Amino acid sequence: MLAPALAYILLLVALPFVAAVLLSLTNSSAGSLDVSFVGFRNFRAVVGNPVFKRALWNTFVFTFVSQVLVIAFGNILARALMRRFRGKTIARFLILMPWAAPISLATLGWLWIFDSTFSVINWVLKVVGYFGPGQWYYWLGDPTLGMVAIVTVHVWRMLPFSTVILIAGLSSIPAEVHEAADIDGAGTLSKAFYVTVPMMLPILSVALLFGVVFTFTDMSVVYLLTRGGPFNSTHVLASLAFQDGVLGGDVGRGAAIAIFLLPVLVVMAILTLRVSRRAEVA
């Protein structure tokens, strides 16, 4: 009964994980199958590298900021979609689109939106007179704006999932509870903090933890949008691991960078399991 699940975990989770740990302790390179054990040399090398330090910082910023925004906007959208209005089905469909669209295709669209020369945002701002002479936003050519662009695309991509989860959470709160709160004279804020949030906490936690894990390990938006540039300033750990390990051919170093994701992911996994168990009990 458990065999397929166990086989799946062993083959697709445990084995790659053990391989990554082992590779990080070797001098493995892309063009070679011969490896030698080098101890913690790869870790020492990456820890001293300013690009790695920046990528580590970016990973946390990317994860934290995008998750806060996803939960905030997800709540707003979910509440809006709980109401009755004309065209609700179409609105739901459109909101779900980013989740269904292939990220590479979607990012091409965003690449045009944020292109440093042809950005449609910039041209609109220019036409409406917002930009003075010589003013321009170099979205992907500036480290800060680059991170803004990356977070924006990631929020756009994650929002539908979060919204759907939150709609499910909101729908599961019985109407009688709200009515009882109304009778007790609870205001909007009181109802939100003492009724809605506590009752949604398990599902909210799952959405948040899933989002954090997904964001923390994601490299696709960074790789497709900025490729870590300008001057390696927008890398996250996953994209830097890919650049050094696969493109640069230093597999051992790439694995060492990727392993730095591990402590956070372990904590997240434990939290996820605990929250799920609590939700189950509840």
Partner 1 sequence: METRRRFIVTGGRLVLAGAAAVAAGPTVFTRSVAAAKELKVLQWSHFVPAYDKWFDPWAKEWGAKRGVEVTVDHVSFADVVPRATAEVAAQSGHDIHMFLGLASAFEEHVVDLSDVVATLEKKHGKPVELARRSTYNPFTRKQFALSDMWVPDPGNYHKKVWTDIGMPNGPVTYEDLSKAAPEVKKVAPQMQIPIGIGLSQDIDSNMAVCNILWCHGGSIQDKDGNVVLNSPETLKALEYTKRLYSVGMTPAVLSWNAASNNQAFNAQETSYILNSISAYRTAQDNKLPVVEHYFFTPALKGPTGIMLASEHVMSGYVVWKFSKNQDTAKEFLVALVDASRESTLGSKLYNFPSFFGAAADPGTPVAKRPQSGTAWVEKQCKQDPFGSNPPDKLMVLADSLKWSTNLGYPGSANPAEGEIFDTYVLTDMFAKAATGALSPKDAMTEASNRAKEIFTKWRAKKMVGGGKDR
Tell whether residue 98 is a contact of partner 1 (CB under 8 A): no
Q: From the CB of 61, what's the least distance to partner 1, in Å? A: 18
Q: From the CB of 25, what's the least distance to partner 1, in Å? A: 15
x/- string (CB under 8 A) for partner 1, residues 118-157?
x-----------------x-xxxxx---x-----------
Residue 123: how many other CB atoms lie within 10 Å? 11
* Residue nearer to partner 1 on the CB measure, 29 or 217: 29
Q: Which residues neighbour 240 within 8 Å (Cβ) at sequence distance 6 or greater?
A: 51, 52, 55, 228, 232, 257
Tell whether residue 220 is a contact of partner 1 (CB under 8 A): no
Query: Alpha helix locations (H) across 2-49?
Result: 3-9, 15-24, 41-47
Lookup: tokens for 264: 């956070």
Q: From the CB of 224, what's the least distance to partner 1, in Å? A: 10
Pairs from 104-113 (Cβ < 8 Å, separation ≥ 24) = 104/220, 104/224, 106/153, 106/156, 106/157, 107/153, 107/220, 107/221, 107/224, 107/225, 108/224, 110/149, 110/152, 110/153, 110/156, 110/225, 111/224, 111/225
* Residue nearer to partner 1 on the CB measure, 138 or 214: 138
Tell whether residue 246 is a contact of partner 1 (CB under 8 A): yes
Tell whether residue 249 is a contact of partner 1 (CB under 8 A): yes
**Which of the stretches 69-77, 91-99, 209-217, 227-235 binds partner 1 when contact is defined by CB under 8 A?**
227-235
Tell whether residue 52 is a contact of partner 1 (CB under 8 A): no
Tell whether residue 232 is a contact of partner 1 (CB under 8 A): yes
Measured CA to CA, the distance from residue 237 to residue 52 in angstroms comes to: 7
**Which of the stretches 25-33, 56-64, 209-217, 271-279 binds partner 1 when contact is defined by CB under 8 A?**
25-33
Tell whether residue 230 is a contact of partner 1 (CB under 8 A): yes
Measured CA to CA, the distance from residue 54 to residue 222 in angstroms comes to: 14
**225 contacts 152 by C-beta, under 8 angstroms:** no
Measured CA to CA, the distance from residue 199 to residue 182 in angstroms comes to: 16
* Residue nearer to partner 1 on the CB measure, 44 or 88: 44
Query: What part of residues 67-96 is at the interface with partner 1 (CB under 8 A)?
Result: none
Lookup: tokens for 164: 């759907």
**Which of the stretches 159-167, 183-191, 240-248, 267-275 binds partner 1 when contact is defined by CB under 8 A?**
240-248
**55 contacts 47 by C-beta, under 8 angstroms:** no
Q: Which residues bind partner 1 (CB under 8 A)?
A: 4, 27, 29-34, 45, 49-51, 115-118, 136, 138-142, 146, 226-233, 243-244, 246-250
